[in-house]
Chain A
Amino acid sequence: MTYISYAQNFEDVMLWRALRHVKNGFYIDIGAQDPVVDSVSLLFYEHGWSGMNVEPTAQYYNMLLAARKRDTNFQVTIGTNNSGSTFYTFDGTGLSTADKETALRHSKAGFSFREVEVGVLTLDSLFEALPDDQIVHWMKIDVEGQEQQVLESWVTSKVRPWILVIESTKPLTREETFLAWEANVTSKSYRFAYFDGLNRYYVSAEHEELLEAFRVPPNIFDGFVLSGQSSQPFYRINELKIGQADAKAQQARLEAQEAALRAQRVESERDLAEIRAREAETHAREAETHARDAGVRAKEAEATTEQVQVNAAQAKAIAVQMEIRAEQASVTAQNAETMVQQVTSQLQGVYASKAWRSTAPLRWIAHQSRQHLPGLSGRTKHAIKRPLIASLSFVQTRPLLKATLVNAIAKLGLAEQLRPWYRGAVARRAAVSHLEAPRAELSFEDMTPRAKHLYQQLQAAIENEQNRNAQG
């Protein structure tokens, strides 16, 4: 029978091969993330299984709540009792982690994070929340660098998942990390079964018969089809084929996508401009100081040498130049900001769309939970992020454009940095899948006569108001 694989690296295919004989089985997914995109458990859920999902990120947790009615979902991190309860959230990415070192590494790469206090459960206490005698058929641990801490919190519990899948490479790299923790797993009588390039699989001693299932990698005899929704690049050909059918519609939306890209570019340009402006300011200030020093020295020297005077004059000239450049830079920065605003207002159409509204409850919940968190304010950057992400999902549904973009990004060497951001955006697409085209600019000609009349009335009222303000 054909079934759909959702996981990013065929984890579900391998597990399904081993466990397809189990009816209504039970899983534990630690670091569950999105209920659909890259989900290891969805295949099982769709076949009647249920289980526990542990996901500290509010955004994904809320998506899980909405999508997984049969599952029990916990918004906690798993760790030893003495490990910190701080969770580092990278909004809209899959990078969020409880590992401070990892978080700092990402932040050096230019991602900003928020520190969030979430509950910490040991694996032992998570197991304790299981109904008595509950068999766990598989447990996946994908916690972006925290694997060791998770395993160390499993001390006393007698619960023994049949199969363990543990991410064994450093996030976003091929560097293997399992040496630090594998002994812990094997000491619990688990046998190494398989390495898929990203994860290591272990089978419990009581179920060694399952080892057989891990002899060969996923292959055509597994009879699966790809969901086409995973974030991995090799899924792209799939979408490419689907996409050819609606190449026409894509054309129409190209503008919106370009706007999004422009906004992104403008944002980075603005940042650059800001930095340059700041640098220029510093230079100017330094130059001024130099000039002043030079002036003082000039006075002190009382025109003893012409050379000093020339120096002072030059310094002054430089200062003036620097000032002019600073001004130019700040004008550029301002222009950039205006453009950002324009793009934002174009994208307001997205807000008005049905899908945007239909996800309102989800966002409300997300908002509710965010309300408890300190340090979140409505900065411009934050405000622009949502429309950007919304428009990126156009890119996601347009494979041809996406392929072009991916190429461009690769050439620019930005892939490593953009991928998590993109992954987050794709995750959101699950919630915003029927996004309509952004509302086009409403032209005067398309208005009814009465609306035109009212528009003029409103304009007149606004003018009146402005005049009154000018006089008063």
Chain B
Amino acid sequence: MKIVLDMQGAQGDGRFRGIGRYTMGFAKGVVRSRGDHEIILALNGLLQESIEPIRAAFDSLLPQRNIRLWHSPGPTAAMDPANEARRSIAEFVRESFLSQLNPDVIHVCSVFEGFGDDGVTSIGLLDKQTPITASLYDLIPMLNPEEYLDGRQSYAMFYEKNLKYLSRATQLLAISDFARAEGKAHLESGNLPITNVSSAADALFHKQPASEEEERALRQKFGIKDSFVLSTGSGEVRKNTARLIQAYAGLSPKVRSAYKLLIVGKIEGIELLHLTAHVKRLGLGVDTVQFAHYVSDQELAQLYNLCGLFVCPSLHEGFGLPVLEAMACGAPVICSDATSLPEVMGNEDALFDPVDVASMCAKMEQVLVDDRLASSLRRHALKQSKKFSWEETGRRAIEAWEMLSKHGGKSRPKKTVSEAALMRSLAPIPSLREPTLARRVAVCIAKNHPGDGTPQLLVDISELAQRDARTGIQRVVRSILSEWVAHPPPNCRIEPVYATKEQGYRYARRFMAKFAGAAGQGELEDEVVECAAGDVFIGLDLQGHVVASKRDFFQQLRKEGVTVKFVVYDLLCVLMPQYFPDGSADDFAAWLTVVCESDGAVCISKAVAEDLARWCGQNEGRRRRPLEIDWFHLGADLQNSSPSSGRPPDADAILQVLRQRPSFLLVGTLEPRKAHAQVMDAFELLWRSDCDVNLVIVGREGWKVEELIRRISGHDELGRRLLWLKGVSDAFLEEVYSASTCLIAASYGEGFGLPLIEAARHGIPIIARGIPVFREVAGSGAFYFDATSENDLAQEIRAWLALREEGRIPLPKAMAAQTWRNSAHRLLELCVGNDETMSHGTRVAKGRRKRTKAAVRASERSAVDVGEAQ
């Protein structure tokens, strides 16, 4: 059975109040008790702020793709008559969305949403087939119109309309037996089936004495030195707070001097004035009755635990959650015998007549003087509160839905509301003749009902598609993309996309036509990207400023249910800013911030993954769900990355020099991070002490190396024992490798270490600085050093030469070079999951499956669990 829960009760103005709490508890209970049923949570896209908290709350309970958003143009709040048309549109659009999820039953957690906010709940306007149930809390406004409806015309109209929707439901799920009876007695359609599914308290409310320190803080905050009687109020008449104060005033002086009265809840303005005046009139000292307006759930739980007595004098409740919460905390509780409260209390002895002040007072006095009675109430409280749990409520709800589908399911051939039907319903709304609104509606419906069901893998290739900086990263993008185009996965559509700082993401159709060699075949449009829950976005290319400018967009994608991930090549720019052009660290950090707010990062080595986990741990992010950090290795097979060819004219002369004496090779762009200067210093020492060796530097001039260049260009040994090969082709580099004795990898920091793999392929030994990424790539196949000075390094090279004499140097034998094919496949797997249907193509080396998973939540930022070494 497919069950859709309309979650707006936990989204609007009421999300921090009782209905919001009930909705979350109820939905979690249903999800936990779902068995084989499929649960979908439907969220209103207009109530933005609530979406990420709900996704985070269900993160470990329900796959994110089961949380779906619907959209309609806002604002729609009913209190403003100007929203009328948009509200009508939203009602149709929402019903059509819910229907197209093809549910067996829809449950509306709260029907009375959208007066002051943009909630929209209707029942049976468009979808007249799907069974719809709704939660029934109480009919308090309907039964007490003088306090809640009279003189508030637009609220009264709103209430009445939604009451009509409520009675159109197939069945109601009441929060208590009393609410059920109230519905039966007062709702117009008297034969509407109503089931009690009950309610429960959040697990936060349990018996746990506060620590001494917490208690001191609590007492200081609320100004209570001694024992106290606790109650909750809201300023509404039905909460009966005035009589409670009167009853308190009637306690014997001895008891009253021992216990203060603390009333928790939002009582303000004129109501507060009335109550304070009331306190004074009764001759009570100002500090004997305290009002606490703003109390967090944690504090409330502590207060329940700490109080000498909890009193609920309410005249009318649908359930009476505070009573249950206080009991779950093991407080002695007495309450009014009105409406639902006796059912929650389950103990005749703890009840009083709420309009009879004397009865209330006597009951309070009794508990406060009789310790045995108090402790028996405490025992009862804990026992009674066990009878209510969200799992139980969830089970009861599911039972009701199962019955419903059993009875109604067979005869009715199910049909979803068609797009045409939706359009027909919308057509008579006059405001839609205005094109802007009509377009907004169309855009919303398109989002609500994505076209074909194939998930997309949106691959960001912004740099490659628009400019191609031809750095190593674009080489990676090219290679991975070629593999994915050549071997498309069966379960998703690869869709390369690009964006600019000014424009949003579009499909890179024109570029791909060229890339795949199909240019000129028909007119291709770079359309605006359209995405849906279940799609995956992977930031493969690196255009930091573009990504940083789309920070909110990526959050929006995540709210929609799109998984957003980024490939991270290295963090050197922020970890070693001294080696980079000034200011680049800030830009890079802006990009990293976006990465850390996403769903996951795929790093190009385990070392980078560890760096990232550390960085995320140190940098506060706006994240509520965990960030998944994985890693994979890049391909190293040259033939699959379009190698360049060509030989310099003096190629043979160069190779001859290399073969004359031991040649040490440095490969990579000349920049401070690669430690060319330190190596030069070391070799000068070696040359001066008659050590006859060559130093061969391969690489272009980078940044911040003017001094180094001057030094090389004017060096005595240049052209003799010092060679600088500035712009060699891939092909000639191969020859240089073959003619060299050893590769020196001296860099202070790298994302990967491609030269090590290349050296290994040529079987030449490696001297490498002992940084994590080199150890990860070369394992035991290299000679490591940790030189801080040129002397150390010269020593190490001499030591290596001595070992070589003895034939004892480590050889790079078993370094498993990854192919681009494997690499691309692994990345795909990390993006879209390793669905069985996908693993037919290429087998992935087993050792590479380990994940570095960093559970970097805002709250537990230190919990970084790094997977074992491969």
Contact = CB atoms under 8 A, between A and B. Distances in A.
Interface string B726-763: 00000000000000000000000000000000000000
A119 interface: yes
Interface stretch (A99-107, A277-285, A351-359): A351-359
B272 A72 contact: yes
B13 A454 contact: no
Interface string B419-456: 11001101110001110101111110110001100000
A458 B438 contact: yes
B530 A450 contact: yes
Interface in A314-333: none
Contacts of A119: 270
A449 interface: yes
Contacts of A129: 273, 276-277
A462 B277 CA distance: 61
A450 B528 CA distance: 10
Contacts of B277: 129
B530 A462 contact: no
Nearest to B77: A360
B528 A448 contact: yes
Contacts of B46: 357
B687 interface: no
Nearest to B431: A345
Interface stretch (A82-90, A142-150, A181-189, A364-372): A364-372
B255 interface: no
Interface stretch (B110-118, B404-412, B667-675, B787-795): B110-118
B116 A364 contact: yes
B56 interface: no
Contacts of A360: 13, 77, 116-118
B525 to A, nearest CB: 8
A60 B585 CA distance: 45
B553 interface: no
A51 to B, nearest CB: 15
Contacts of B426: 458, 461
Secondary structure at the A interface, as helix, strand, loop or mixed, is helix
Interface stretch (B149-157, B470-478, B648-656): B149-157
A75 B428 contact: no
A457 B421 CA distance: 11
A414 B79 CA distance: 34
B438 A131 contact: no
A459 interface: yes
A442 B436 contact: yes
A378 interface: yes
B294 interface: yes
Given A75-B270, A364-B116, A378-B82, A451 B442 contact: yes
Nearest to A342: B434
B164 to A, nearest CB: 21
A462 B273 contact: no
Contact of B269 (A75, A356, A361): A75
A169 B424 CA distance: 64
Nearest to A449: B527
Contact of B154 (A74, A371, A446): A371
B318 interface: no
B439 A455 contact: yes
Contacts of A364: 13, 77, 79, 115-117
Interface residues of A, number: 51
A222 interface: no
A454 to B, nearest CB: 4
Interface in A421-471: 441-442, 444, 446-455, 457-462, 464-465
B442 A455 contact: yes
Interface string A358-399: 101101100110011000001000010000000000000000
A73 interface: yes
Interface string B134-153: 00000000000000000111
Contacts of A345: 434, 436
A65 B268 contact: yes
Contacts of A465: 424, 427-428
B13 A461 contact: no
A367 B438 contact: no
Nearest to B447: A451
B433 A462 contact: yes
A119 B441 CA distance: 47
B75 interface: yes
Contact of B442 (A132, A352, A372, A454): A454
Given A132-B286, A455-B438, A65 B269 contact: yes
A69 interface: yes
Given A360-B13, A378-B82, A131 B440 contact: no
B714 interface: no
B438 to A, nearest CB: 6
A61 interface: yes
Contacts of B294: 69
A447 B81 contact: no
B73 interface: yes
B74 A352 contact: yes
Nearest to B73: A352
Contacts of B528: 446-448
18 contacts: A73-B269, A74-B273, A75-B269, A131-B287, A357-B48, A357-B74, A357-B75, A361-B117, A364-B77, A364-B79, A367-B80, A368-B155, A372-B152, A449-B530, A450-B450, A451-B442, A458-B423, A465-B424
Give me the 4 closest cross-chain CB pairs, A-B, nearest first.
Answer: A364-B116, A455-B442, A461-B423, A451-B446
Interface of A: 61, 65, 69, 72-76, 119, 128-129, 131-132, 345, 351-352, 354, 356-358, 360-361, 363-364, 367-368, 371-372, 378, 383, 441-442, 444, 446-455, 457-462, 464-465
Given A357-B75, A357-B118, A465-B428, 15 more contacts: A69-B293, A72-B272, A357-B117, A361-B117, A364-B116, A367-B116, A383-B82, A442-B439, A448-B528, A448-B529, A458-B432, A458-B442, A461-B420, A462-B427, A462-B438
